[in-house]
Chains A and B, each alone.
Chain A
């Protein structure tokens, strides 16, 4: 209504706005140029390091170390990748991580979404108690050591199950999902369904879940990325190298040798064999980073459109 009015006869204000806009174009243009250039620069700073890793993983390491590789891979070799394939510990770590991520995410989704749905229901008696109980864990915790002792007493120390169970849910994600359910599942829907004799279980699985693909996707992404990238739990609780996830294996390769490598490079006069190993090691590192980050980057474009929605939906009601 207001819109159609406006288009019919522009008022004084509208005309002034147009005038101002015209008058401001020069200043505007300067502002835009500066703004766009800075954002362009930020974009380059964000993306270039990632691109560099990709091209470095494919290039001759000598050319990288002498600063000859900048925008495209040079003297392409796949030595880094082929060495990765032959490394048993990396392969084992990769498989472990896939298993932990799959089952861990599954458990996360079940625990989180079910709890969030219950908390989103206003007619759920005890809602306040559970909310407060869960909320408190966001601000206070027993700390690392009491948690460690608890996990140990449960027999989960050096047990691959700890990688799936620990972190099964978090209040932050419950809040995000709860807010989504509150805003997207109208109360009337439950009223109507329950009158027709539909129970809570059937309602959740037949009606709520199909209407909530966005939040399921976001939660799956959040949790899967956490499992895929997590190394803390494994560092504390996993000792057996058969159970080690990729990140731990990667840490051993990427970081443990680094300090020595730095010393070697500083020393300069090392044996030729060492230099050779060092060169291959560099290549492996770049390739390893690519291989370890690729799955997340590949999933990302598909979930991306839900992602922003997910981050912001929980923020509305902290």
Chain B
């Protein structure tokens, strides 16, 4: 009796869209699962209000926004691309774009391989205790807040800070890391690597755990050394994960850690530390130039989206794995 009913339901839930009596079945399912709609309602409302209303509001990038008139009531800018033109032709444009891309690419080049290498190394450890120790301790910095991280950077790299003291042990002269804009990139990137490599490695370690030992046995019989096995067995095995992570990373290339850049900004390094997101913040929130800063933000998001699609397409054509 029970199994009979179950089977009937199975075929129904799989093929309800195709059957001739589909509609009534659909209604039945909706009626029976009314609670699921109640469950999803808060998330639906949240995304509607805090994601889709602002998306609708992005039209102010093409308008002259007046707060009292709202998104819809404000008049269109003349020409409609006025704010984009202002941004593209401003003296800051190339500098900001260069800073954004430069910092982002530098960070990806440093941090992306770091997580993979750490995972491969941890995977080779045979002592369970040491393995656990390294794995669990390397992702602790991930839980530190950005404010604390930047605070630590400033304490350690100040003229009397720890780094200069270690340098002094080796007879190096004091370096004013925080005062010179040449160090901004390096501090930003390597503090990020310090904070997130262990966390980033988790996913690869999990993928590596799924590599079949038989592959390793076969490779060993064929005379592969350990390094060769890492490169020719482990690395290809986690390649799909790597590709997906890469697409996600590149799709976010313009979204630098806004908080961190802003916190690390000083009058001294503004020339290299002004990126699109901090520029939008200053223009929009501090100077209340809503339309212009929305245009800059939209430019940023469109580039991200375009990159995501491009990289996904490239990955799909050269390898089997892609985001969709």
A-to-B contact residues, CB < 8 Å: 13, 16-17, 20-21, 24, 27-28, 31-32, 35-36, 38-39, 42-43, 45-47, 49-50, 52-53, 56, 65-67, 110-112, 114-115, 117-119, 121-126, 130, 133-134, 137, 139-151, 153-154, 166, 168-169, 174, 188, 191-192, 194-195, 199-201, 204, 225, 228-232, 236, 247, 250-251, 254-255, 258-259, 261-262, 265-266, 282, 285-286, 288-289, 292-293, 296-297, 300, 304, 308, 311-312, 315, 318
Contacts and interface: CB of A to CB of B under 8 A. Distances in A.
B65 to A, nearest CB: 8
Given A36-B130, A130-B44, A232-B258, A145 B33 contact: no
B147 interface: yes
A17 B220 contact: yes
Interface of B: 2, 5-6, 9, 13, 26, 29-30, 32-40, 42-44, 46-47, 49-58, 60, 65, 67, 70-71, 118, 121-122, 124-126, 130, 133-138, 140-141, 143-148, 150-152, 154-156, 158-160, 162, 165, 168-169, 176, 178-179, 194, 198-199, 202-203, 206, 217, 220-221, 223, 225-227, 241, 244, 248, 251, 258-259, 263, 266-267, 277, 280-281, 284-285, 290, 293-294, 297-298, 300-301, 304-305, 308, 323
Given A124-B33, A312-B203, A47 B156 contact: no
Contact of B58 (A142, A195, A200): A142
23 contacts: A24-B226, A31-B227, A32-B124, A35-B125, A39-B122, A42-B134, A47-B137, A125-B33, A133-B47, A134-B43, A139-B305, A142-B51, A142-B58, A145-B280, A145-B293, A146-B55, A150-B49, A154-B49, A195-B2, A255-B154, A265-B160, A293-B144, A293-B145
Contacts of A230: 145
Contacts of B43: 111-112, 114-115, 134, 168-169, 174
Given A31-B226, A52-B162, A144-B297, 10 more contacts: A111-B42, A111-B46, A114-B43, A149-B65, A150-B49, A150-B53, A228-B145, A232-B258, A236-B281, A286-B155
Contacts of B154: 254-255, 258
Nearest to A53: B152
A251 B147 contact: yes
Nearest to A259: B266
A67 to B, nearest CB: 4
A229 B149 CA distance: 11
Q: What's the dominant secondary structure at chain A's contact region? A: helix
A195 B289 CA distance: 60
Given A229-B145, A232-B258, A266 B54 contact: no
Contacts of B67: 149
B40 A115 contact: yes
Contact of B26 (A114, A125, A201, A236): A125
Given A24-B226, A45-B194, A118-B39, A231 B147 contact: yes
B150 to A, nearest CB: 6
B118 A42 contact: yes
Given A20-B220, A168-B46, A228-B145, A144 B280 contact: yes
A231 B178 contact: no
Contact of A119 (B29, B40, B126, B178): B40
B274 to A, nearest CB: 15
B58 A143 contact: yes
A123 B11 CA distance: 11
A16 B220 CA distance: 9
A143 B141 contact: no
Contacts of B151: 250, 254-255, 285, 288-289
Given A43-B138, A67-B168, A121 B36 contact: yes
A43 B203 contact: no
The 5 A-B pairs at the shortest CB distance, nearest first, are namely: A142-B54, A143-B297, A229-B145, A146-B57, A115-B43
Contact of A308 (B143, B150, B206): B206
A2 B135 CA distance: 33
Nearest to B293: A145
